[in-house]
Amino acid sequence: MGPAYADEQVVGFLLAMAGEGARRVATHASEVIIGRHDVFKLKKPLTTAYLDFSSPERRLACCERELAINRRSDPQGRIYRGVRRITRSGEDGLAFDGEGPLVDAVVWMHPFDEAGLLDRLAQEGPLSGALVDGLATAIARLHAAAEICPDAAGAARMGRVLAVNRRAFVDSGLLDATGAEALDAVFRAALARHAGLLDSRAASGRVRRCHGDLHLSNICRIDGEPVIFDALEFDEDLATTDVLYDVAFAVMDLAHRGQAVAANRLMNRWCDATGDEAGLAVLPLLMAVRAAVRAHVAAAAGDQAKGDQYLSLARSALAPVPPRLVAVGGLSGSGKSSLAGAMAPRLGALPGARILSSDRIRKQMFGVGALERLGPEAYRPEVSTAVYGAMRQRAAALLASGVAVVVDAVHVRPAEREAIGAVATAAGVPFDGVWLDLPADRLAARVAARQGDPSDATVETVAAQQAYDLGVITWRRLDAGQRLDDLAELVHRT
């Protein structure tokens, strides 16, 4: 945790200002005073290789920078309230924001229920889809507003992280020199394969001043919504990185905590929100790097078991897994999207397959949100042809880059089913076409019960679809009334 804060008078003042029952929590670089209505974060007077909190003026500047950085993800001030200067009052007293000499400074925050931290929620069971979707939106919004770095050396930036990791593997006791060299060689080989992609992403503005420390302990559910906090404020270089590396931390942390469905969903919803799916081939490497960092940090803190767990995840993410294309078809209400979401984490490299949904692509084409309803003009035959064409084009590009894909669309016409199968053939990857069957009354009941779904299908849509000529269905036909996990496992095994 590092040394205690030196000036106990300041700590005593803050405890008094926080009120009865206030408690003091130390981190490696801060002292946090937590009261019923106020939280004060005080920076320790440290000077290290990566931070300089040596003077009150420097600590004040860092507090102001911390507030500015974190207001990007907390614009409503649900956590961050402001910065308070601690000044000398009279001969021996202290005050907030007085006219006397500066003694120190704190980041002033609202307290929050720590039971809402996502690392704790992840221990209680599967995170809700709505919470994961909200997190993806929050991260995408943060990245959209982040300052772009003009440096186009994406691969070199990641190479510096690998160099630090290699030394830390040994220094932390996680690996011996031989083991560290061998693992570094695997990382370097993966970096070499993706160097061109990382550099092109940097050149196109994907390297930005990100959060930098986006793990689940720095995300809290407040009023039902995820709020991101505690961004890395003391090292601009560490926090300036590819946006995909930033989101990879949260995806990796979900995977580490056994939340495979949530990890895959976060990746997919972030891609839906940003349109940035072309870089997904490098995501397993970025997850592995994030896991490796956590591994040596845990080992250095004396938790070898946790370090080994993270290291195992890093090795899994680095393991090559060939891509595969799965198409899920069926009439409205048959459960295509649910099955796609259950199957995707099981396919391809971590964190699983990219899901391409015709409903979401259609909404993107019309420039509306996924849950905004479209009128009949959006379902004209020529529009649907364009939607399916875009879906196949994107699937082909992802497969060519090595990313597994699940396509979620009705595929009512034989020609549509043949065309998506041809995408897999052209890419030289395995293909599975799955058709979900369900009686008309159950389809209608499912559609009527939908809430918060991108599909615009209604009960009337289901009735109209009963007259469709489906032609000969050569895809594997499955009873959509089965348990979702059983269906997903059935598709995965074959």
Domain boundaries, the chain: 8-111, 116-318, 325-493
Least confident range of 203-217, 227-241, 269-283, 381-395: 227-241
Q: pLDDT per residue over 211-266, tens digit each? A: 999 999 999 999 999 999 999 988 888 899 999 999 999 999 999 999 999 999 99
Confidence category of residue 185, pLDDT binned at 50, 70, 90: very high
pLDDT surpasses 70 at 120: yes
**Distances in whole angstroms, Cα of residue 226 to Cα of each of 248, 306, 388, 408:** 17, 26, 34, 27
User: 160 pLDDT band (50/70/90 cuts)?
Assistant: very high
Q: If pLDDT is split at 50, 70 and 90, which confidence band does 143 have?
A: very high
Q: How many CA atoms lie within 13 A of 53 on its CB side?
A: 29
Q: Is the pLDDT of residue 1 over 70?
A: no
Three-state DSSP at 3 gives coil
Give the homologous superfamily in CATH for domain 325-493: P-loop containing nucleotide triphosphate hydrolases (3.40.50.300)
**What pLDDT sits at residue 478?**
95
State whether residue 464 is helix, strand or coil: helix
Note the pLDDT of residue 26.
86
Is the fold of 116-318 the same as that of 325-493?
no
* Nearest-10 crossing angle of helices 283-300, 304-318: 170
Q: How far apart are CA 155 and CA 200, in angstroms?
A: 9
Q: For residue 58, report the phi and psi dihedrals to the nearest 5 degrees.
A: -65, -40
Confidence of residue 42 (pLDDT cuts 50, 70, 90): very high
Residue spans of beta strands (DSSP E) within 164-218? 207-209
pLDDT surpassing 80 at residue 338: yes
- pLDDT for 52 beyond 90: no
* Cα–Cα distance for residue pair 142/492, rounded to 1 Å: 35
pLDDT per residue as tens digits for the range 305-329:
999 999 999 999 999 999 999 999 9
Query: Cβ distance 328 to 408 under 8 Å?
Result: yes
pLDDT reported for residue 4: 59
Mean pLDDT of 265-288: 97
Prediction pTM value: 0.94
The whole-number pLDDT of residue 68 equals 94
Beta carbons of 478 and 375 less than 8 angstroms apart: no
Average pLDDT over residues 41-57: 84
Dist. CA 298–CA 279, nearest whole Å: 29
Residue 151 has pLDDT above 70, yes or no: yes
Instruction: Decide if 80 contacts 65 (C-beta within 8 A).
Output: no
Q: Give the confidence band of 366 by pLDDT, cuts at 50, 70, 90.
A: very high
In which residue are the tokens 């693992």 written? 183
Average pLDDT value over all residues in the chain: 94
* Band (72; pLDDT cuts 50, 70, 90): very high
Alpha helices, DSSP H, located in 301-435: 304-318, 336-343, 358-365, 381-401, 414-427
Map residue 24 onto helix, strand or coil: strand
> Which residues partner with 225 through β-bridges?
222
Sheet holding 354-357, edge to edge: 354-357, 405-408, 325-330, 431-437, 476-479
Q: Residue 393 has what pLDDT?
A: 98
Q: What is the pLDDT of residue 6?
A: 60
The answer to whether the beta carbons of residues 333 and 441 sit under 8 Å apart is no
Q: What's residue 47's pLDDT?
A: 77
Tracing tokens 């060939």 back to the chain, one arrives at 322
CA distance linking residue 35 with residue 15, whole number of Å? 8
Q: Phi, psi (5° rounding) for residue 441?
A: -65, -35
**pLDDT at residue number 152:** 78
Q: Please tell me the distance from the alpha carbon of residue 465 to that of residue 468, in angstroms, as a whole number.
A: 5
Which string of DSSP letters, residue by residue, matches 274-318? Answer: H---TTGGGHHHHHHHHHHHHHHHHHHTT-HHHHHHHHHHHHHHH
**Helix or strand (DSSP H, E) at 43:** strand 39-43
Count of positions (residues) in the chain: 494
In the predicted structure, residue 105 carries a pLDDT above the cut 80: yes
Q: Return the pLDDT at 92.
A: 84
- Banded model confidence at residue 5, pLDDT cuts 50, 70, 90: low
pLDDT in tens, 454-493: 999 999 999 999 999 999 999 999 999 999 988 988 887 7
Structure tokens at 306: 């946790």
Count of Cβ atoms closer than 10 Å to residue 77 Cβ? 13
Q: State which fold the 116-318 domain adopts.
A: Aminoglycoside 3'-phosphotransferase; Chain: A, domain 2 (3.90.1200)
Cα–Cα distance measured from residue 488 to residue 51, given in angstroms and rounded to the nearest whole number: 49
On whether the CB atoms of residues 104 and 59 are closer than 8 A, the answer is: yes
Provide the pairing of β-strand 80-89 with 325-330: unpaired
Q: What percent of the chain has pLDDT over 90?
A: 89
pLDDT bin (cut points 50, 70, 90) of residue 3 is low
